[in-house]
Amino acid sequence: MPSPQPSSDPFEIPRPAQVPAIELIGVRKVFRRRERAHGRFSPRRRVAALDGVSFRVERGETVAVLGQNGSGKSTLVRVLSTLLLPDGGTARVFGHDVLTQPAVVRRLVNRVSVEASFFKKMSAAENLSYAARFHGLTSGRTRAGIPEILERVGFPADRRSEPMENLSRGMQQKVALARALLTAPVLLLLDEPTTGLDPRSKREVQAFVKEMRAMHDATILLCTHDLDEAEALADRIGVLDRGRLLVLGTVDELNRRYGAQTLEVAFFAATGREFGEETDPDDDREVFA
Amino acid sequence: MSLHQPASGVAGDGRGRWSLRHELIGLSGVVERNLYLVKRYIWWDIAFFVWTVANTLSIVFIARGIEASGGTIDVNRAATSLLIGAVIWAYLGVIFEIMTETVAWERWEGTIEYTFMAPLSRSVHLFGMGAFALLYGMARALLLFAVCAFFFDLSIPDADFGAALVVLAVASVSFVGLGIVTAVLPLISPEKGSQLGFVAQGLLLVVSGVYYPVEVLPRWMQWLATVSPATYALDGIRDAILVGDPLTAMGDELWPLVVIGVVAVPVGLAVFRRGERYAKQHGKLKRSG
Ligand SMILES: Nc1ncnc2c1ncn2[C@@H]1O[C@H](COP(=O)(O)OP(=O)(O)O)[C@@H](O)[C@H]1O
Ligand SMILES: [Mg+2]
């Protein structure tokens, strides 16, 4: 494994090669929520969004987590980005515990989620600019860097100063990718980055993720419910179902394990359910996407 | 730029230690973002300013109204006193609004998770919001005062504006501290948080002697007035502008303000930290309903 860090840098965050990029040991996250159908005074129900999830992702790997709506993918991403505190277990990013060293973890991680989250009246350039500042980048570095990175993700130069609300979903998602890349995360968390995109934007975003993979030292965790996307982009694929990681391996390993010819069949064998069947009856896609 | 270079983003890959300098860059990013928002919502800002001017004028006219209906008052003095009350109140309102927006606006735009997973520390993030709120609030307050003083042709020959500004600056520290406390409310209760902010603001309005001397209040309210920084700010500023008291005569106002400020800011930060923890435990950072 190449050492991407100039070893002369005395301040670097230690990320020894033998330490996995992601290490989860029995991570649990339980939410208490009211059932909508039963009105506002109904008793709260406990939902185990993550139910003892353990796995490792090596540095430089791209791992896809496949799961239906409500299987716990976003919860997993939020735990790794220090936005949700796990109720039990341990989660580490390059050896740094998300609970006890969140500040270090935040410097290593960035994320693209299903909804492009931006100040809608502000332009792409403005949104990227302030976000870069939050990661310690001066305007001297972003002045040239932002146009460059927007160009790399295929964002048209003449629309940089247009309010984000005028841009298509696909275009916004490219800006979201640019925002994540701008901070050069060593762990990139992609949470359904292509869900809801038109086929062309979807292909473009996927092509870009592929290019990212080729980059030195970038580790990618891709959460998706798109089987083809997982197969096309990931080295290994895990199946998450109702908060439990049922299996994690290469496509071949998965197929062999379940005696399946295709990933779809393997998924069915692992979860006991047809792909595309809803597991989460709650009408909360918008809220918890 | 090749995608195969380790420097995938502007940050490069040799991650230096996160330092005070990075925090200050982050702070400038908070201010920068708010300036973009002012620019993008400029008509809204202008409309709000016109409304504030109208509101302030209608309050200051009360002084003339009393005289016209046969009361005997020193109109110039009463009008100036009411104007000071209205201007300080508008200033305080702006600070509270901006601080409360720290969470509420970002939740609405959907950017809150990205801001909260950035390496910028929460205290510096909040100080950035405070710094912008002070600059923006101060600019509006001065403009409001100038417009209204001109309109009423007030004569304040003895005024010591320097002393008044110092009192306001010292008081602002406490205002920001209280603002941080109200900022946390939308974090804990997405539905009711902003309303509680209004309640807190209203309470300050009624007890702090914005338009009348605190002595006219019932005793229990007078007690509340002694812990409100706005009480001392108004006292000091009125002394400076109406009587021309110099700073050296402001001990009675400055000391309580310093004490309240020194207490309010750390308390505000501690409360916010707890609120953030609670939100991350219960999945309320993003939750909109
Ligand atoms: N903030 C939250 N509050 C309450 N319940 C939540 C919250 N976030 C997720 N959940 C619940 O946890 C389960 C997993 O959700 P999520 O991780 O969003 O799944 P996915 O991203 O795979 O669709 C779902 O049942 C969802 O309703
Ligand atoms: Mg999701």
pLDDT tens sequence for chain A (289 residues): 444 444 334 345 656 667 999 999 999 999 987 766 666 666 778 899 999 999 999 999 999 999 999 999 999 999 999 999 999 999 999 999 999 999 999 999 999 998 889 999 999 999 999 999 999 999 999 999 999 999 989 999 999 999 999 999 999 999 999 999 998 899 999 999 999 899 999 999 999 898 888 776 789 999 999 999 999 999 999 999 999 999 999 999 999 999 988 998 888 888 887 766 555 544 444 444 4
Distance CA A206, CA A235 (A): 14
pLDDT class of B15 with cuts at 50, 70, 90: low
The predicted structure's pLDDT at residue B161? 92
Q: Do B111 and B209 belong together in one domain?
A: yes
- Domain shared by B131 and B257, yes or no: yes
How far apart CA A79 and CA A184 sit, in angstroms, is 20
Q: How far apart are CA B102 and CA B142, in angstroms?
A: 24
Cβ within 8 Å, pair B8-A212: yes
- At what angle are helices A169-182 and A199-214 packed, to 10 degrees? 10
B99 in a domain, yes or no? Answer: yes
Alpha-carbon span B241 to A38, nearest angstrom: 61
Higher confidence at residue B129 or residue B182? B129
What are the residue ranges spanned by the domains of chain A?
A: 22-116+186-271
Consecutive H or E run containing B263: helix B251-282
Q: Indicate left, alpha or beta for B169 from its phi (over 0: left) and psi (-120 to 50: alpha).
A: alpha
Does any ligand 1 atom lie closer than 6 A to the CB of residue A74? yes
Contact residues, chain B, for A109 at CB < 8 Å: 117
Between the CA of residue A288 and those of A24, A67, B50, what are the distances in Å? Answer: 22, 15, 40
Cα of first residue to Cα of last residue in chain A, in angstroms, is: 36
What pLDDT score does B191 carry?
72
Phi, psi angle pair for B218, to nearest 5°:
-60, 155
Contacts for A235 with CB less than 8 Å, ≥ 6 apart: A61, A62, A63, A250
Residue B286 belongs to some domain of the structure: no
pLDDT confidence of residue A276: 64
Residue B139 is assigned to a structural domain of this protein? yes
Question: How many alpha carbons fall within 13 Å on the CB side of residue B218?
Answer: 3
Q: Which of residues 153-212 of A touch B (CB under 8 A)?
A: 163, 179, 181-186, 211-212
Question: What mean pLDDT comes out for the span B264-273?
Answer: 94
* H or E element at residue A189: strand A187-191
- Encoded tokens for A198: 């038109």
Selected from 3.90.700.10, 3.40.50.1370, 3.40.50.300, 3.30.70.100, the CATH number assigned to the domain covering A22-116+186-271 reads 3.40.50.300
Q: To probe the interface with B, which of A109, A135, A211 has the most B CB atoms within 10 Å?
A: A135
Residue whose C-alpha is closest to residue A57's, from A77, A87, A75: A77
Do both B178 and B76 map to the same domain?
A: yes
- Give me the pLDDT at residue B42, please: 95
For residue A71, give how far its alpha carbon lies from the nearest alpha carbon of chain B (Å). Answer: 16
Its sign, for the CA torsion A120, A123, A128, A129, is: negative
Residue B37 near chain A (CB below 8 Å): yes
Where is B175: in which H helix or E strand? helix B161-188
In a 13 Å sphere around the CA of B64, the CA atoms on its Cβ side amount to 9
Residue B11 is predicted with a pLDDT of 42
Name the nearest CA neighbour of A175 among A187, A185, A163, A186: A163
Output the furthest CA–CA distance in chain A (Å, rounded): 61
Q: How many CA atoms lie within 13 A of B148 on its CB side?
A: 30
Beta bridge partners of A46: A32
Q: How far is B137 from chain A (nearest CA, A)?
A: 21
**B200 shares its domain with B254:** yes
Share of chain B above pLDDT 70, in %: 93
**pLDDT digits 0-9 by tens, B147-156:** 998 888 888 8
Domain count of the fold of chain B: 2
Determine if ligand 1 sits within 6 Å of the CB of residue A172.
no
Q: Are residues B173 and B136 in the same domain?
A: yes
- Which residue among B16, B36, B109 sits closest to A117, beta carbon to beta carbon? B109
CA of A192 to the centre of ligand 2 (A): 7
φ, ψ of residue A26 in degrees (nearest 5): 55, 45
Cβ atoms A62, A233 nearer than 8 A: yes
Q: Does position B117 have pLDDT exceeding 50, yes or no? A: yes
The CA A242 to ligand 2 mean position distance, Å, reads 12
Q: How far apart are CA A62 and CA A234, in angstroms?
A: 5
Q: Is the pLDDT of residue B199 over 70?
A: yes
Instruction: Give the other-Cβ count within 10 Å of B153's Cβ.
Output: 8
Residue B287 maps to a domain: no
**CB of residue A219 inside a 6 A radius of ligand 1:** no
Helices B219-227 and B193-207: crossing angle in degrees, nearest 10, is: 110
Q: Within this chain, do residues B76 and B162 fall inside the same structural domain, yes or no?
A: yes
**Is B203 contained in some domain?**
yes
B203 and B105 fall within a common domain: yes
Atom of ligand 1 nearest to the CA of A67: 22
Residues of the domain holding B217: 43-281
Is the domain of B47 the same as that of B23? no
DSSP H helical segments within chain A, as ranges? Answer: 73-80, 102-108, 124-134, 139-152, 169-182, 199-214, 227-233, 251-257, 263-271, 285-288
Classify residue B104 as left (phi > 0), alpha (psi -120 to 50) or beta.
Answer: alpha
- Is there a domain that residue B126 lies in? yes
Q: Whole-angstrom Cα distance, residue A74 to residue A81?
A: 10
**Ligand 1 centre and the CA of A72: distance in Å?**
6
Answer whether B230's CB lies under 8 Å from B204's CB.
yes
On whether both B250 and B115 belong to a single domain, the answer is: yes
Global pTM value = 0.88
pLDDT at A3: 42
For ligand 1, whether the C-beta of B287 sits within 6 Å is yes
Question: For residue A196, how far is its CA from the centre of ligand 2 (angstroms)?
Answer: 12
Q: How many CB atoms lie within 10 A of CB B108?
A: 14
pLDDT in tens, B214-247: 999 999 999 999 999 999 999 999 999 999 999 8
Whether residue B277 is found in the same domain as residue B199? yes
More confident residue, A70 or B11: A70
Average pLDDT of the residues of chain B = 88
**Cα–Cα distance, B208 to B215 (Å, whole number):** 10
Residues 6+ apart with CB under 8 A from B108: none
Percent helix, strand and coil across chain B, each rounded to 5? 80, 0, 20
pLDDT of residue B13: 42
**Any domain includes B289:** no
Q: Would B60 be classed as within a structural domain?
A: yes
Mutate to test the interface with A, among B15, B20, B287 (most CBs of A within 10 A): B15
pLDDT score, position A35? 66
Select the residue of B18, B36, B285 nearest A126 (Cβ to Cβ).
Answer: B36
Q: Per mean pLDDT, which range of A122-126, B126-130, B193-197 is the poorest? A: B193-197
Say if residue B109 is in the same domain as residue B36.
no
Q: What would the pLDDT profile of B68-103 be if each residue is shown by its tens digit? A: 888 888 888 999 999 999 999 999 989 988 988 888
Do B15 and B59 fall into the same domain? no
How many whole angstroms separate alpha carbon A285 and alpha carbon B67?
Answer: 62
